[in-house]
Every structure is written in C-alpha cells, then in structure tokens.
C-alpha cells in the first residue's frame, strides 16, 4: 500500500516568507523545519510555523499538487492559508 502524501506551507511569520514542501511524514518534517535541523531555505529564512497543509492519497499526487502550487501567485497562497488558518497559528501542534 502506498503512503499518503502531504503538501504543506511553512511561514516565517504572518504574511512573511513562505515555503511550500511535500512529505510523507508531516509531523516529522514540521519538527525538522521548526528546529532548523535541515539546512536550506526554511532554515535561512526562519520558516518555522506550519500554517497550511493538505493530505493526498499518494505521495505522487502530493508532489503534483506541490509543483502546481509553486507556480501560484503569492496572493493565491495567502488566500489558501487565510481560508484554512485565518489566525496563522502553528498547526504542527494539531498533528498526531
């Protein structure tokens, strides 16, 4: 059986720098970003808050959506976040 996939957005602060990623283990990946365990964009720009995510049946479907979203205008990304998470709370604490 194939693993589920997640597309997620990390933010440095409300309306700050955004990062879109994909993973098969969202709690682990959010922790890695929050703690700065992985060198790269999120560590450099302080994107530590999980502000949006979506679940997909397969990692391939999640990757396809991630690629689409990376082409989106910033306003569309902000709209997606505001719709799901209007207070921009860190959703990592809601994951089990």
Model confidence at 2: pLDDT above 80? no
Mean pLDDT of 58-74: 97
Mean pLDDT of 54-67: 98
Does the pTM surpass 0.85? The reply is yes
Q: Kind and range of the H or E element at 51?
A: strand 49-56
Model confidence at 5: pLDDT above 90? yes
Model confidence at 1: pLDDT above 70? no
Do residues 10 and 47 make contact, with C-beta atoms less than 8 angstroms apart?
A: yes
Question: Residue for token digits 């682990």?
Answer: 28
Q: Is 83 left (phi over 0), alpha (psi -120 to 50) or beta?
A: alpha
Secondary structure of the chain: what % helix, strand, coil (to 5)? 45, 20, 35
């Amino acid at each position: 059986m194939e693993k589920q996939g997640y597309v997620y957005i990390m933010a440095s602060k409300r309306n700050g720098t955004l990062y879109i990623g994909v993973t098969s283990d969202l709690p682990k990946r959010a922790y890695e970003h929050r703690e700065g365990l992985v060198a790269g964009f999120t560590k450099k720009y302080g994107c530590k808050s999980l502000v949006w995510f979506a679940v997909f049946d397969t990692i391939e479907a999640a990757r396809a959506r991630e690629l689409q979203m990376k082409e989106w205008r910033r306003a569309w990304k902000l709209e997606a976040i505001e719709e799901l998470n209007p207070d921009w709370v860190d959703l990592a604490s809601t994951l089990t």
